[in-house]
C-alpha cells in the first residue's frame, strides 16, 4: 500500500490502495484514511492529478 503525501511528485497505478499521510481539512479527509486510485488525469505542466475513492475509518466508528 502506498502513502499519499500532499505535494509529493509520484506516479501511482490505477486501483492501487494508498493511505493519506496528511490531513486535507478542506476535503474532510484525515491522515490515515484509506483511498483507492480510480482515475489518473495527466497534466500538461507535469503535475498529474488522481481521483480517489476514500474509505474513512471515522464513518465506521460513528455507526
pLDDT tens digits, 7-53:
655 678 899 999 989 998 888 888 888 999 999 888 888 778 889 99
Pairing of the two strands 34-41 and 2-4: unpaired
Residue 54 CB-density burial (10 A; 0-12 exposed, 13-18 middle, 19+ buried): middle
> How many structural domains are present in the chain?
1
Give the pLDDT of residue 55. Answer: 76
Split at pLDDT 50, 70, 90, the class of 6 is low
Domain residue limits at 22: 2-62
Does the structure show a pLDDT above 60 at 59?
no
How far is residue 37's CA from residue 61's CA, in Å, rounded to a whole number? Answer: 24
pTM: 0.64
Give the pLDDT of residue 7. Answer: 60
DSSP-derived letter for residue 15 is T
C-alpha separations of 12 from 20, 37, 48, 57 in Å: 13, 7, 10, 23
Amino acid at each position: 500500500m502506498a502513502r499519499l503525501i500532499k505535494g509529493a511528485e509520484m506516479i501511482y497505478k490505477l486501483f492501487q490502495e494508498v493511505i493519506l499521510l496528511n490531513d486535507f481539512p478542506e476535503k474532510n479527509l484525515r491522515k490515515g484514511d484509506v483511498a483507492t486510485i480510480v482515475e489518473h488525469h495527466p497534466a500538461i505542466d507535469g503535475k498529474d492529478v488522481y481521483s480517489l475513492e476514500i474509505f474513512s475509518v471515522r464513518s465506521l466508528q460513528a455507526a
